[in-house]
Amino acid sequence: MFNGAGLLQEKMKDLSLQAQTDPLTGLANRRTMAAAIEKLASAGQSFSLIAVDIDHFKTINDRFGHDAGDFLLQKISILINQSSRSGDLACRTGGEEFLLILPRTTLTQAVEIGERLRLMIESTSFGRVGKVTASLGVSCWPNENKTVQQIIKVADDNLYVAKQNGRNKVVSME
What residues are annotated to the active site?
96
Sign of CA dihedral 65, 160, 118, 98: negative
Q: Are strands 170-171 and 134-141 parallel, antiparallel or unpaired?
A: parallel
* Strand, helix or coil for residue 38: helix
Alpha-carbon distance of 158 to 140, in angstroms, equals: 12
DSSP letter assigned to residue 4 = H
